[in-house]
Structure 1
Amino acid sequence: MPLPDGDTPWPPPQLAPVFDRLAAWSAWYGGDPDELETLYGESSGLRFDSTSRARLVNHPSQYRGGVVGRLARWFWGQPTPLGERRTKLHVPLAGDIAAKSADLLFSEPPTFTVDDMATQDRLLEHVEEGLHATLLEAADVCAGLGGVYLRVCWDRDLADRPWLSPVHADAAVPEWSWAGRLTAVTFWRVLADDGGTEVVRHLERHERGRILHGVYVGTRERLGRRVPLTEYPETTGLAESLSDGNVIDTGNPGLTAVYVPNMRPNRTWRTIPAATRLGRSDYASLEPFLDALDEVYSSWLRDIRLAKGRILLPSVYLQSNGPGQPATWDADREVYAALNQLPNGTGQQITLAQFAIRHEEHSRTAIELMSRIVQSAGYSVQSFGLSSDVAVTATEVTARERQSMVTRARKILYWRAALAETIDTLLAVDRAVFGAEVEPQRPNIEFADSVSQDPESMARTLQLLTAAEAASLQTRVEMLHPDWDADQVRAEVKRIRDDTGRAVVEPDLFRGIAEKPDEPAGEGQGGDDEQPDEHVDVPSDRG
């Protein structure tokens, strides 16, 4: 299909409910108080008062019922009284949840394995050139917005290989087949916006085997007319690579973009045909709890402000500074002139106002809300430091963070399939565009453990196994390096034996000893890691 033509609405009307929800998730993900207040307050627009000064005016509907009134009943929807400063406090727990999701998935880079050695070496170069950082960024966005796109990019003037670039879910219009597979996707970005009267957008449509580019000048609601790419410096470089007007041939029959859902199914959009395959955010259905958490912390800080010590005293205690000047009171003054007042006990007295700070009540409420939010998002409270228990070993950490590990395993199912597909496309573009001697194929992907074994604990375990003669040298190396393949393990075993002087004796020597009629083979002879007969001077694996 070609790019949109004519003055069409943008984004497409059928996806309006999706982008409305994405705007809410984006506000919580970004954590900008102004954006949250605009989203729920609906207090936009400028009016002029009697002094001809523009000011922000609250809508009357914020104080009553209806749709706008319902939003205003949120903490962030309550209007700030005119003339007062905003005292609402935002707790960036939503951003912390997204960061924790990314850390659980890609705190360590995944391992990509292919059969061809040249392709394997090229993949290692891609990982070292920033692929790991890209995956961390993409996973962070994926958790916040419910999904993320990974597209293959290349530019001969910038690099000698293609790379992956994440695209946020609120900047894409996907198209799905009847079986739920992504068939095409249109990305867009705003090149210029003068406040709403003119908005310049760059559209990038990915189809199988090609990419289409177009620049449109319209409004915030309409796409507008199409103009040449050379009119804007951000897209001038693309014009040189186009063929047939606006097409770039990828040299690969597949799609150069994939969609990674955060979690499925999306319970909110399951009845919207164009959005049933989109993922759901970690914040789905948790917005009221996030709003309540901000209200608790704002109330807590309000208690602190109100609890500031204040001295209340009668006006006769103030010292006049002359006509037109405010009266003052010196708290360090020791001697006062005689005051005209009633006898002590019935007259005016100095009063100290000191309100209590409800620290315990606010703290327990905040922790309860945070625990509920974290657990409903699919994570353990220990992952966010909300538990006072201290885990000692990696096994204890895994046991106490089981809910986080289960959520991580579910997300890996989506990430592994999408990464395998996009790496295959990346290799195909690398060969077609840059002439790399690689074999495009779907790699085997292994995700590193998010909870690493404590080195000291592992060393003690291996030492005990060695003393008990319960594990061979090869087994101990495999325990220490569970991500190594058989060749790496054998090479490490050989290096250890060479370094410690415990080289393996030739098998012919053992067979010659076992065949002697007067010296039957002992229990330890003939094994790779076992101790031979005591009459034979053969080094063993025991150190």
Structure 2
Amino acid sequence: MPLPTDDMAWPPHHLKPALDAMHTWDTWWSGDPDRLEVLYGGSTGGGPDPKRLQYSGGVVGRLARWWWGTPTAPGERRTKLHVPIAGDLCGGSADLLFSEPPKLTVEDDTTQARLDELADDGMLATLQTAAEVGAALGGVYLRPVYDVDLADRPWLDAVHADRGIPEFQWGRLSAVTFWRVVGEQDGQVWRHLERHEPGVILHGLYQGTKDKLGRPVPLEDQPATAAFAALVNTDGAIPTGYEGLDVVYIPNQSSRRWRCKPKLQELGRSDLDGVEPLMDALDETYSSWMRDLRLGKGRIVVPDSYLQSNGPGRGSSWNPDQEAFAGLNHLNRGGDMTLTVAQFQVRVSEHQQTAEDLVNQILRSAGYSGQTFGLGGDAAATATEVVARERRSMTTRGRKILRWRPALGQVIEALLTVDQQVFGGGLKPQRPTIEFEDSVQEDPLSLANTVNVLAQATAASVDTKVRWVHPEWNDDQVQAEVGRIMRENGMSVPDPMQTGELP
């Protein structure tokens, strides 16, 4: 399927539900209170009256009735606080997957050496970023890219889910079109479309409006796309040298929201899907807590005549940092001239318990344990105890690895193919074997105690014990260590059959 040739709505209408949901998740993930107020209609920046919108029906009224949709009274400063738990969730998901680099192995030694170089050239950082983006938006694309003017090797690039139009066949990505805005002037918008199909990448530049794609124009019309004009063939395509699709899409989790929409059901589900009301309530709880602190400051209510006079006709003033905080303007004749102390209660325990319960519910709904995010104390524990406490997080990690492993293998194979085609080097592109490292490492003392018990029970060989203590070692390293241990302990006895002498 080629690039569009006719003017059409952009982005396409069938993507609107997904893009709207991604916009909501992205706003929470960003942690920007201004964006949250704009999203839910709580801003008073010259738009419609937010208070009136709360009585509306439909989506507008429903959003305006959120706590972030409550307007700030005119003349008052905003006192709403935002707890960035959405960023903690998405960052924690990426840490569970890629806190340690995955082990990538291929059979050919030359290819393995080159793959190690590519992996050390920022690949782990890209994977961590992609995992966090995928947790926030419900999925992420990975593709190999290169620029001979920047580096002598290709690298992986992550494309956010809201910048691609995917096409799925039997649950697998068959083609995708990425787009970006490369120019805007006088209401005109120039978009660069990059369509990936098996074996080729199509490039096109379109001049349209904010909501319309417009007409195709030469790639030379914009500096951002001029370089592609010399690379594409007569069909506007660049061969990739890879037989399959050089882009993979990694859904975060199975989608629940769009399971009945064939064009959207494979997009995946964000970790923030369904917990937006709880995050809204958490922000309200913390803001109420801070409000109690402000109101709980000691006040002494005094007559205005007790305050500092600014001169005839200019009234009196007070310093808010002084104990005498507020004054009452009344006649002194026969009036009550006593000083009144006002002290409101600060409900610390109530707010703390409510906030902790909301945080635990958010983490549980997102599929994580509280211990993963530092809740439940910092007492020392063995790896077995840690896994038991974080079982829910480990289960979620395992589900995500099932989606990441095959997709990562395919895109690295495409990366090696691009490397061979563009930079040479005698590589043999092949799909690597991927092994994700354990996110919880056993304590060395606990390992030593376990190995000691096995040795006393004569239940494990020296080879088994060495592999238990050093699971990251290869066979040569293990055999060398076994030989040293046996020689040091006098367990190395020559084989009489090899010396030609019988005992």
TM norm. shorter chain > 0.5: yes
Partner of 2:18: 18
Give the residue type in structure 2 aligned to 1:426.
Answer: L
Partner of 1:220: 210
* 1:15-54 equivalent positions in 2, closer than 5 A: 15-41=15-41
Partner of 1:358: 347
Inter-CA distance 355–161: structure 2 relative to 1 (3 Å threshold): same
Normalised TM-score (structure 1): 0.85
Whether 1:208 aligns to 2:208 is no
3-state SS of the aligned residue for 2:144?
Answer: strand
Separation in 2 of the partners of 1:353 and 1:400? 47
Give the residue type in structure 2 aligned to 1:140.
Answer: E
One of 491, 495, 503 as aligned partner of 1:507 = 495
On the 8 A contact 1:190/1:200 being kept in 2, the answer is: yes
Give the residue type in structure 2 aligned to 1:188.
Answer: W
Partner of 2:153: 161
On the 8 A contact 1:317/1:329 being kept in 2, the answer is: no
On the 8 A contact 2:42/2:72 being kept in 1, the answer is: no
One of 170, 173, 184 as aligned partner of 1:182 = 173
On the 8 A contact 1:209/1:255 being kept in 2, the answer is: yes
* 1:226-245 equivalent positions in 2, closer than 5 A: 226-245=216-235
Whether 1:475 aligns to 2:467 is no
On the 8 A contact 1:89/1:298 being kept in 2, the answer is: yes
Partner of 1:100: 92
Partner of 1:64: 55
- 1:510, distance to aligned residue in structure 2 (A): 8.6
Inter-CA distance 164–354: structure 2 relative to 1 (3 Å threshold): same
Give the residue type in structure 1 aligned to 2:280.
Answer: D
Give the residue type in structure 2 aligned to 1:491.
Answer: A
Normalised TM-score (structure 2): 0.91
Separation in 2 of the partners of 1:422 and 1:183? 14
* 1:113-192 equivalent positions in 2, closer than 5 A: 113-177=105-169, 179-192=170-183
3-state SS of the aligned residue for 2:428?
Answer: coil
- 1:56, distance to aligned residue in structure 2 (A): 4.6
3-state SS of the aligned residue for 1:273?
Answer: coil
Partner of 1:519: none
Whether 1:258 aligns to 2:226 is no
Inter-CA distance 115–357: structure 2 relative to 1 (3 Å threshold): same
Whether 1:369 aligns to 2:358 is yes
On the 8 A contact 2:42/2:68 being kept in 1, the answer is: no
Inter-CA distance 4–494: structure 2 relative to 1 (3 Å threshold): farther
Separation in 1 of the partners of 2:214 and 2:490? 77
- 1:109, distance to aligned residue in structure 2 (A): 0.3
Separation in 1 of the partners of 2:308 and 2:149? 76
Separation in 2 of the partners of 1:208 and 1:112? 24
Inter-CA distance 270–306: structure 2 relative to 1 (3 Å threshold): same
Inter-CA distance 229–502: structure 2 relative to 1 (3 Å threshold): farther
Q: Deviations over 1:405-461 (max 9, x none)?
A: 111111100001101111111112121222132222221111000011123332444
Residues matched between the structures, number: 494
One of 243, 254, 262 as aligned partner of 1:273 = 262
Separation in 2 of the partners of 1:251 and 1:235? 22
3-state SS of the aligned residue for 1:311?
Answer: strand
Give the residue type in structure 1 aligned to 2:67.
Answer: F
On the 8 A contact 1:478/1:484 being kept in 2, the answer is: yes
Inter-CA distance 319–35: structure 2 relative to 1 (3 Å threshold): closer
- 1:466, distance to aligned residue in structure 2 (A): 5.0
3-state SS of the aligned residue for 1:275?
Answer: coil
3-state SS of the aligned residue for 1:259?
Answer: strand
Inter-CA distance 42–250: structure 2 relative to 1 (3 Å threshold): farther
Partner of 2:412: 423
User: For structure 1, which runs of at least 5 residues remain unmatched after alignment?
Assistant: 47-54, 334-338, 517-543
Give the residue type in structure 2 aligned to 1:134.
Answer: T
3-state SS of the aligned residue for 1:21?
Answer: helix
The structure number with the bigger radius of gyration is 1
Whether 1:292 aligns to 2:284 is no
On the 8 A contact 1:251/1:433 being kept in 2, the answer is: no
Give the residue type in structure 2 aligned to 1:226.
Answer: P
Inter-CA distance 129–492: structure 2 relative to 1 (3 Å threshold): farther
Inter-CA distance 63–369: structure 2 relative to 1 (3 Å threshold): same
- 1:392, distance to aligned residue in structure 2 (A): 1.5
- 1:93, distance to aligned residue in structure 2 (A): 0.6
On the 8 A contact 2:50/2:69 being kept in 1, the answer is: no
Separation in 2 of the partners of 1:448 and 1:225? 49
- 1:282, distance to aligned residue in structure 2 (A): 0.8
Q: Deviations over 1:222-255 (max 9, x none)?
A: 1123232223222222222222252111111111
User: For structure 2, which runs of at least 5 residues remain unmatched after alignment?
Assistant: 325-330
Give the residue type in structure 2 aligned to 1:192.
Answer: G
3-state SS of the aligned residue for 2:278?
Answer: helix
- 1:287, distance to aligned residue in structure 2 (A): 1.0
- 1:463, distance to aligned residue in structure 2 (A): 4.8
- 1:302, distance to aligned residue in structure 2 (A): 1.2
Partner of 2:188: 198
- 1:490, distance to aligned residue in structure 2 (A): 1.8
- 1:114, distance to aligned residue in structure 2 (A): 1.4
Separation in 2 of the partners of 1:332 and 1:258? 64
- 1:94, distance to aligned residue in structure 2 (A): 0.8
- 1:61, distance to aligned residue in structure 2 (A): 4.0
Inter-CA distance 324–493: structure 2 relative to 1 (3 Å threshold): farther
Inter-CA distance 268–80: structure 2 relative to 1 (3 Å threshold): same
- 1:512, distance to aligned residue in structure 2 (A): 7.2
Which deviates more, 168-177 or 62-71? 62-71
- 1:207, distance to aligned residue in structure 2 (A): 0.6
Separation in 2 of the partners of 1:42 and 1:295? 13
Inter-CA distance 340–182: structure 2 relative to 1 (3 Å threshold): closer
Whether 1:447 aligns to 2:436 is yes
Identity of aligned residues (%): 54
**Cα RMSD after superposing both structures:** 2.6
Separation in 2 of the partners of 1:232 and 1:487? 56
Separation in 2 of the partners of 1:488 and 1:120? 19
Separation in 2 of the partners of 1:257 and 1:392? 42
On the 8 A contact 1:162/1:426 being kept in 2, the answer is: yes
